[in-house]
């Protein structure tokens, strides 16, 4: 009898398109390898679908708000079917950039300095606060988005124009800009899976650089680091994966500047598309796409 896997993808977040791509790629690979697969949206029909389809495991292919912030995870807990990736608390911690940065700092993990901003200051007050705490340029970003959605690098002259684009959020982070190399690392269970360096042609590794092949972001693997620095990178990555309480796979985004790693964030639901980094890192380290998916499924089944 074929093992039944339910894939939840799509959703309502700004990362809907990427989630659908992840769901499609995972479904195609599983079907090719003899699994019975059903795809669905995370809507009011979910409970009914689970009861009628009776999946062995739910593959959570959602990205962004509702999908990786603990919300859908709390629903899946009540359905009592094993599901992939991190649980409720770890997902909520990782998705909230302020909470995760506090965890990093408390545990002596280097991360850019930041200010939490609630659109409650005049232009002059904000400029003075940034000058005192951070200095320009700065990075502005929502506290709870992924895939570099609505992330901007700003100098003093443009920050207030960019902030208008983020008015829909209650709180945002204004973060110290760290130049240097873009390096991302992946953890799979307790395994230090590996790392990749990105050289975007754009200003930084933003949404377009991540998902548009025309952006021509260069992927460099293996990363050009000496053995000591590479081991340090992977040690930090595994430590943070465990500090947050992640399950399955996670991807950690770093800047490498003046021989130091600055952790920007941890992603508990990394993409599984043709342009995604975790499958690329995995393949380089001898784990093909179907085996990567099987490991993620196995991790879910052992964490019921």
Report the 10 Å Cβ neighbour count for 67: 28
Strands 114-117 and 152-154: unpaired
Q: Please report the pLDDT score of residue 10 as a whole number.
A: 93
Catalytic residue among 13, 86, 147, 148: 147
Catalytic residue among 253, 262, 282, 299: 253
Q: Please report the pLDDT score of residue 48 as a whole number.
A: 93
The yes-or-no answer on residue 265 being catalytic is yes
The yes-or-no answer on residue 69 being catalytic is no
DSSP 59-113: EE---STTTSSSHHHHHHHHHT--BSS--HHHHHHHHSHHHHHHHHHHTT-----
Catalytic residue among 87, 150, 251, 276: 251
**5 near 297, Cβ under 8 Å?**
yes
Residues 6+ apart with CB under 8 A from 149: 14, 15, 64, 142, 207
Angle at 11 between CA 171 and CA 207, to 5 degrees: 60
The yes-or-no answer on residue 284 being catalytic is no
The yes-or-no answer on residue 176 being catalytic is no
The yes-or-no answer on residue 267 being catalytic is yes
The yes-or-no answer on residue 206 being catalytic is no
CA quadruple 283, 111, 146, 56: dihedral sign: positive
The yes-or-no answer on residue 253 being catalytic is yes
Q: Please report the pLDDT score of residue 209 as a whole number.
A: 46
Orientation angle between helical segments 88-95 and 227-244, nearest 10 degrees = 120
CA dist., res. 38 & res. 125, Å (int): 53
The tens place of each residue's pLDDT in the chain, 304 residues long, gives 789 999 999 988 888 999 999 999 999 999 999 999 999 999 888 999 999 999 999 999 999 888 899 999 999 999 999 999 999 999 999 999 999 999 999 999 999 999 998 888 888 888 888 988 998 899 999 888 755 667 889 888 888 888 888 887 888 899 999 999 999 999 999 999 999 999 877 454 444 444 445 557 889 999 999 999 999 999 999 999 999 999 999 999 999 999 999 999 999 999 998 778 999 999 999 999 999 999 999 998 766 5
Q: Please report the pLDDT score of residue 211 as a whole number.
A: 46
Catalytic residue among 70, 265, 276, 299: 265
Q: Does the predicted model carry a pTM greater than 0.85?
A: yes
Catalytic residue among 237, 271, 276, 299: 271
The residue ranges of every structural domain in the chain are 4-84, 94-109+180-301, 114-176
Q: Please report the pLDDT score of residue 13 as a whole number.
A: 85
CATH architecture of the domain with range 94-109+180-301: 2-Layer Sandwich (3.30)
Q: Please report the pLDDT score of residue 80 as a whole number.
A: 92
| 202: DSSP letter | S
Q: Please report the pLDDT score of residue 64 as a whole number.
A: 87
**137 near 155, Cβ under 8 Å?**
yes
Using DSSP, state whether 198 is helix, strand or coil: strand
Catalytic residue among 267, 276, 282, 299: 267
Pick the CATH number of 114-176 from 3.30.1490.20, 3.40.50.300, 3.40.640.10, 3.90.1170.40: 3.30.1490.20
Exposure string of 268-284, with b = 16+ CB inside 10 Å and e = fewer, is bbbbbbebbbbbbbbee
The yes-or-no answer on residue 147 being catalytic is yes
Q: Please report the pLDDT score of residue 146 as a whole number.
A: 59
- What CATH number belongs to 4-84? 3.40.50.20
Q: Please report the pLDDT score of residue 47 as a whole number.
A: 92
Catalytic residue among 9, 10, 11, 15: 15
Catalytic residue among 211, 230, 248, 250: 211
> Which tokens in the block code for residue 225?
């680091």
């Amino acid at each position: 009898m074929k093992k039944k896997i339910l894939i939840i993808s799509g959703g309502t977040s700004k990362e809907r398109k990427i989630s659908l791509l992840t769901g499609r790629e995972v479904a195609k690979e599983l079907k090719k390898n003899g699994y019975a697969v059903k795809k669905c949206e995370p809507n009011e029909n979910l409970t009914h679908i689970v009861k009628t389809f009776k999946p062995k495991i739910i593959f959570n292919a959602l990205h962004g708000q509702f999908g990786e912030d603990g919300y859908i995870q709390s629903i899946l807990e009540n359905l009592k079917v094993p599901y992939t990736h991190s649980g409720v608390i770890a997902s909520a911690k990782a998705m909230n950039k302020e909470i995760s940065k506090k965890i990093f700092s408390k545990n002596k993990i280097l991360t850019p300095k930041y200010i939490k901003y609630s659109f409650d200051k005049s232009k002059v007050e904000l400029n003075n606060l940034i000058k005192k705490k951070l200095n320009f340029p700065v990075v502005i970003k929502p506290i709870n988005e992924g895939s570099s959605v609505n992330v901007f690098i700003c100098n003093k002259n443009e920050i207030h124009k960019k902030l208008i684009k983020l008015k829909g959020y209650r709180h945002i982070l204004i973060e110290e800009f760290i130049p240097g190399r873009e390096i991302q690392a992946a953890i799979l269970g307790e395994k230090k899976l590996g790392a990749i360096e990105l050289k975007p042609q754009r200003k930084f590794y933003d949404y377009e650089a991540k998902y548009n092949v025309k952006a021509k972001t260069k992927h460099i693997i293996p990363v050009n680091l000496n053995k000591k620095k590479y081991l340090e990178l992977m040690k930090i990555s595994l430590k943070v994966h465990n500090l947050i309480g992640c399950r399955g796979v996670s991807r950690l985004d770093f800047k490498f500047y003046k021989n130091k790693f600055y952790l920007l964030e941890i992603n508990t639901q990394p993409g599984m598309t043709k342009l995604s980094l975790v499958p690329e890192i995995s393949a380089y380290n001898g784990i093909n796409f179907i085996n990567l998916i099987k490991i993620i499924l196995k991790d879910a089944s052992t964490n019921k």
